[in-house]
Structures are given as C-alpha cells and as structure tokens.
Amino acid sequence: MSDSGPIVIISSYPPRLCGIATFAEEAREFIQKHNPDREVLVISHTDGQGEGVFPIIDMSKRDWWKTVAIKVHRMRPYAVHLEHEYGLYEYYDSRGHGDGNEGFLDLLDAINEFPTIVEPHTVHGRLTSFEANFIYQMCERARVVLFKCHYQKWRLDWNFVGQGWRTPRNVMVVPHGARPDRRWAIKDVPVLKEELVLDQIPYLGNRLVGMVGWIQSNKRWDILTSMWEDIHAEILERTGQEWDLLAAGSMRDPNHLTDYENYLEQLAALEKKGLAHYFEFIPRGEIYYKVMAVCDFIVLPSTDETQSGTLARIIALNKPYITTAPMEGLTAQTLESEGGLLFTTKKMLKDQVIRMACDEELRLKLGENLKKYLDQVVSWDLVAKQYNEAYELARQSIASGQAVVLPLEF
C-alpha cells in the first residue's frame, strides 16, 4: 500500500454520454483540487478519453476485470474509488445472458490488497433479491461503501434484517456533489440567453419554466406538457404575466425513442401556439448549467430516481424546483434542502407550477434554502473532503487488518 501513489477512479468517462461518466469527470476535478500533491487517474471503459485516462474496460470480454486488476497493481494506488452502476459492468454472453455484475465482484477480490471505496449510484429503498444479494457481496469485498442518501442506509438495515442477514457496517453517507461555482446573478440571464440564441425566439418571454436534462422514458416530460396550455392560461389570468415552457436536452438511449418522439410532438404543438420551445443540446459541461440558469424554476418529473445529476445541477444554481414524491433521493433531498415543492398527482403538479409561478417570494425563499444546502451540505468541496475521509478509513482498515465499522443510521 503506497503513501505516494495516485487516487485511481474506475468508472465510465466522457465523451461517453452517460450520467455516471459526467459525474466522474466532475468528481475527479474536485478530488484533484483537494489532493493537489497527488495524481488522480481514471481507468475507464474503452470509449473514455483524456489526460490521465486509461480506457481499458472492455465489456465484450468475460474476464474484462483481469486487465483492470493488472493495471491497478502496476499503479500501486493510494486508494481505488469505483463508481458503480449495474449497466456499466454487465457482461453478456452470446445468448444475451448477463453475468449479474460478477466481474465487478471478481475485480474487488483481485485488488483487495489496496484501499477500495465503492460508490454505487443505484440503491433502491426496497431492494430486489438480486440487488440485495449483490450489495451484500459488494459490501463484503469493499473496504468502504458510499451511499448518496441517509434513507438508503437505514432502508438497507431494514432490507437485510428482514432476510436474517447481518447489516454491513462499512457504509458511509456522502451526498451527490453539486458545483459551488455556477451561480449566475439575475442580471446575467439576458447575456446567457443571447449566448444560447434563445433571445432570437420571438414568442419566448422573460419568464421560463424549465425541464432540462437527458430525455428518458422515466423523465416524464409529458405529464407537464399535456397540461401546459391550461397552466399557462391560469397563470396569465391570475397575474397578467406570460410564462413559457422551455424544454431542453437530448435523447441518449435509443430504447427511449418512442417516448422521445411523443414528447417532441407535444412540444411542437405548443410551439405553434407560442407557449413553449424545445432547445436541443447535450446535457454535459457548462452549457448544462447555462440552460438551467435562464429558467425561473425547474420541473423534474420522474418515475424512477435514486438520486439525480439533474437535481445536483438545480441545487448548484439555487433554482427552485418541483419534483415527484415519494421518489427515492428526489424526495429525500427536497425534504432535507427545503428547496423544492413535491407532487404526487397530475392535479398537484398543476397546482404547484401555478403556485410557484404566481409567488415570487416563495421562489426567493426556496432559492435561499438551496443556497444554504449547497454551502453547508452538498458542495463538491465538502464532498471531496468526505471522499478523503473515506480513503483514510479504507487505508486504516488495510493497515490494521480490521474491517471498517461505522454507526448505523437509526
């Protein structure tokens, strides 16, 4: 175990159009910032690129993990930080049968002499049998496991005790990081609109409700678009103000093409009436933040989300928002931050959008709550320090030969 070795991140990585890849890129930036005297390197899938990136994870091979393990041993890392999502590490044989992420567990076994920290991005409150078994095995092999939300940790205890299993004690809660350096002032919005050429859309007004991010089947844009004409009319009647809908993003998974086309069809009908606009862009990098920044508030309808990179950007911008409940991390962070409104029915969404548009004082209050939450809880600067604490715990475990034991949540 080297004191001078690099921090090695194992993850998908840009230019792959993948939420985990984008997350890893941003996380790496701040891990490097808080470890200025240590290299932060990446082992990625074969489509990863960039300085200090080694694109050697080839998921077409059953034993992909062996190449990764050999590379890790040669690097003699200070710590190995693995980003996990089931789809990233699933090997499929010639029949199309998956291996249940067996290779990922084999990798953890193969590099167990080094401090390993696994950050799973999907930990549901109610686990399937497969998920429960996988998480149990993962926690047995990793030195420290990082969950994004407190509810995931106490629900894990409930899930495991219910099956008569021992609850892992090496689980640490570290929230999804949010950038502290992307907060534009209201006076900057006209310049941002000009830069995005949104100022050239004649019917697009100054007050915007945004739906921004990757367009997927679980991101139910249609819930809002189907009601937008009525919502627009009611806001206008109550306030005399014209509010428009800005839907912005792009599709990345061809399996979602039918829903994507339906969303665009609905938006095209609204565009003809001068009530909405679709702005296509790749949700990655600074433009992601700029598109959100021109909106007065964001609507994030979703039917499956354990935590959300879109929400992290909403928080980074201190934008008031409306999202689905009860919905895993979306609800948890809304309650913790007091920065958004929740809905559970179409009528409730309609009422909340109207309420948010008609109440500037509410928008300011929610925005201020998000500012505090960002500064005190989820800033990447705070998260990177928590990562360093996890690395140290993992290193102490290696040195002592003792497993990490952390308190239970409840």
204-251 per-position pLDDT tens digit:
889 999 999 988 888 888 999 999 999 999 999 999 999 999 999 998
Q: In the prediction, which pLDDT does 190 show?
A: 92
Q: In the prediction, which pLDDT does 1 show?
A: 66
Do 313 and 244 belong together in one domain? yes
Q: In the prediction, which pLDDT does 307 show?
A: 73
Inside any domain, residue 113: yes
Inside any domain, residue 405: no
Q: In the prediction, which pLDDT does 104 show?
A: 98
Give the mean pLDDT of the chain: 95
Inside any domain, residue 349: yes
Q: What is the sign, positive or negative, of the torsion defined by CA atoms of 191, 195, 196, 202?
A: positive
**How is residue 168 written in tokens?**
């892992």
Do 396 and 356 belong together in one domain? no
Do 118 and 230 belong together in one domain? no
Secondary structure E strands in 242-310: 243-250, 276-280, 297-300
Residue 322 pLDDT more than 80?
yes
With beta carbons less than 8 A apart as the criterion, state whether 184 and 220 touch: no
Do 72 and 172 belong together in one domain? yes
Inside any domain, residue 407: no
Do 144 and 283 belong together in one domain? no
C-alpha 305 chain-centroid distance:
9
Do 46 and 149 belong together in one domain? yes
DSSP 188: G
In one letter, which amino acid is 148?
Answer: K
Taking residues 341-347, report their average pLDDT. 97
Domain tally for the chain?
Answer: 2
Range of the domain at 100: 7-177+380-400
Q: What is the CATH number of the domain that holds 74?
A: 3.40.50.2000
Inside any domain, residue 2: no
- 280: which residues sit within 8 A by CB, 6+ positions away? 248, 249, 250
Q: In the prediction, which pLDDT does 216 show?
A: 85
Q: Packing angle between helix 64-75 and helix 102-110, nearest 10 degrees?
A: 30
Do 326 and 361 belong together in one domain? yes
Residue 203 pLDDT more than 90?
no
With beta carbons less than 8 A apart as the criterion, state whether 148 and 307 touch: yes
35-70 per-position pLDDT tens digit:
999 999 999 999 999 999 999 999 999 999 999 999
Do 151 and 61 belong together in one domain? yes
Q: In the prediction, which pLDDT does 60 show?
A: 97
Do 301 and 205 belong together in one domain? yes
Taking residues 377-394, report their average pLDDT. 98
Residue 360 pLDDT more than 90?
yes
Inside any domain, residue 408: no
Percent of the chain residues past pLDDT 70, beyond the cut: 100
Do 269 and 331 belong together in one domain? yes
Do 264 and 353 belong together in one domain? yes
* Number of other residues whose CB lies within 10 A of the CB of residue 80: 27
Do 149 and 259 belong together in one domain? no
Q: What is the sign, positive or negative, of the torsion defined by CA atoms of 259, 262, 267, 268?
A: positive
Percent of the chain residues past pLDDT 90, beyond the cut: 87
Inside any domain, residue 410: no
Inside any domain, residue 406: no
pLDDT-based confidence at residue 303 (cuts at 50, 70, 90)? confident
